[in-house]
């Protein structure tokens, strides 16, 4: 018996599949609800290397559905807490954790040698960026989502299957977001379970076994639907090599509205980092272990040493952008 005997005994995977799995490298964007389960599943399964990107900190409100974290992790960056937990689960897996936004420029060095991209995010903007990156690099990726009672899984094999942009010619609004719709942990588990199985097929060298469908499962009501994805849509930009969602990296400031009335702010690569010592002099500023916390016009900013920030109290990108710029100008004076 070895550690993976029970996996190898499952004939469709087998010892040859397990061996390929152990040589594989996965990049996971977002280690919140679905990302936690995806990471744990693949680390337990014994992949070779897992690279994680996540900027957020663990909050109490994450604990009902973000399986890698405990009360002790509150306030810590998710990427770091996840790495510690995953290392305790399987010390044989190489783990890389970046406390950073997943943006094309920042991700580039981490894409080399990656066999699969996984979506642990909660927004279409990042997913469309992943869809473009996957096609540009010819790396498979899996769209995974859990909203309310609904679990969604769609593997994308560039050049073979339909992609996210084939299905949605226009990027959908994140309408039924975590705030308006809520989310149940069993829906998270269902979505991540479907995607982890597809991930294992891809990594173990069985792409022909991949389920070429967008699967939609409602775990409360029992409703279900499948949409075939075995062919790309004629005229799909991403499938034709026109990557419309990678361009944001050159913007001076990249601001994304997130769930829970907040925005995420990322200065372009090469921007000089702010002087947190100067900003810390402002009334009401508080130095946390990972970031500077500062209140500005009713918005609570958490500013990281590299200038990236989270602004809580508004989902209005224009307002948050101008307040952030004003803070940075004061810092420069």
| Residues within the interface to Zn ion (CB under 5 A) | 163, 165-166, 232, 236, 238-239
In the complex, what is the shortest distance from the CB of residue 326 to Zn ion, in angstroms, rounded to a whole number?
41
In the complex, what is the shortest distance from the CB of residue 26 to Zn ion, in angstroms, rounded to a whole number?
22
* Closer CB to Zn ion, 126 or 308, in the complex: 126
Cα gap 284→330, rounded to integer Å: 15
In the complex, what is the shortest distance from the CB of residue 198 to Zn ion, in angstroms, rounded to a whole number?
18
In the complex, what is the shortest distance from the CB of residue 74 to Zn ion, in angstroms, rounded to a whole number?
40
In the complex, what is the shortest distance from the CB of residue 139 to Zn ion, in angstroms, rounded to a whole number?
15
* Closer CB to Zn ion, 205 or 207, in the complex: 207
In the complex, what is the shortest distance from the CB of residue 240 to Zn ion, in angstroms, rounded to a whole number?
8
* Closer CB to Zn ion, 102 or 239, in the complex: 239
Cα gap 269→152, rounded to integer Å: 33
Is residue 222 exposed (0-12), middle (13-18) or buried (19+ Cβ within 10 Å)?
exposed
Q: Which residues contact 315 (CB under 8 A, 6 or more apart)?
A: 257, 258, 261, 262, 263
* Closer CB to Zn ion, 222 or 235, in the complex: 235
Cα gap 198→168, rounded to integer Å: 22
In the complex, what is the shortest distance from the CB of residue 167 to Zn ion, in angstroms, rounded to a whole number?
8
* Closer CB to Zn ion, 168 or 185, in the complex: 168
DSSP codes, 153-200 = EEEE-TTTS--HHHH-SSPPP--S-HHHH-B-HHHHHHHHHHHHHHHH
* Closer CB to Zn ion, 86 or 236, in the complex: 236
In the complex, what is the shortest distance from the CB of residue 194 to Zn ion, in angstroms, rounded to a whole number?
21
Vertex 82 angle, CA 127 and 88, to 5°: 140
Please name which of 203, 184, 265, 153 lies closest in space to residue 24, comparing C-alpha atoms.
203
Cα gap 173→215, rounded to integer Å: 20
Write out the two tokens for 253: 């400031």
* Closer CB to Zn ion, 166 or 210, in the complex: 166
Pairing between strand 141-147 and 150-156?
antiparallel
* Closer CB to Zn ion, 202 or 236, in the complex: 236
Write out the two tokens for 176: 């039924």
Where b means 16+ CB within 10 Å and e means fewer, 155-193 reads bbbbebbbbbbbbeeeeeebeebbeeeebbeebbbbbbb
DSSP symbol at 82: H
Please name which of 317, 270, 312 lies closest in space to residue 291, comparing C-alpha atoms.
312
In the complex, what is the shortest distance from the CB of residue 87 to Zn ion, in angstroms, rounded to a whole number?
37
């Amino acid at each position: 018996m070895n550690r993976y005997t029970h996996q190898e005994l499952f004939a469709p995977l087998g010892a040859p599949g397990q061996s390929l799995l152990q040589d594989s490298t996965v990049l996971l964007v977002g280690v919140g609800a679905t990302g936690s389960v995806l990471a744990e599943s693949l680390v337990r399964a014994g992949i070779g290397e897992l690279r994680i990107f996540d900027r957020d900190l663990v909050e109490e409100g994450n604990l009902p559905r973000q399986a890698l974290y405990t009360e002790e992790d509150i306030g810590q960056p998710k990427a770091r807490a996840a790495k510690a937990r995953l290392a305790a689960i399987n010390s044989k897996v190489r783990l890389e954790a970046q406390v950073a936004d997943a943006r094309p420029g920042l991700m580039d060095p981490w894409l080399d040698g990656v066999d699969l991209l996984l979506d642990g995010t909660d927004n279409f903007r990042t997913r469309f960026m992943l869809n473009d990156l996957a096609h540009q690099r010819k790396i498979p990726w899996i769209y995974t989502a859990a909203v309310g009672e609904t679990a969604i899984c769609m593997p994308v094999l560039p050049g073979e299957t339909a992609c996210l942009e084939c299905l949605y010619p226009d990027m959908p609004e994140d309408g039924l977001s975590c705030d308006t719709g809520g989310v149940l942990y069993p829906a998270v588990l269902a979505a991540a379970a479907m995607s982890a199985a597809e991930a294992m097929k891809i990594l173990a060298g069985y792409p022909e076994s991949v389920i070429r469908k967008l699967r939609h499962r409602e775990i409360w009501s029992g409703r279900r639907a499948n949409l075939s994805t075995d062919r790309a849509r004629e005229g799909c930009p991403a499938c034709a090599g026109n990557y419309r969602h990678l361009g944001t990296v050159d913007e001076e400031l990249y601001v994304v509205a997130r769930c829970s009335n907040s925005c995420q702010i990322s200065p372009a690569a090469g921007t000089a980092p702010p002087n947190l010592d100067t900003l810390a002099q402002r009334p009401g500023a508080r130095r946390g272990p990972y970031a500077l916390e500062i209140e500005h016009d009713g918005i609570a900013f958490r500013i990281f040493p590299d200038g990236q920030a989270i602004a809580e109290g508004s989902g209005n990108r224009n307002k948050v952008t101008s307040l952030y710029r004003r803070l940075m100008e004061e810092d420069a004076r």
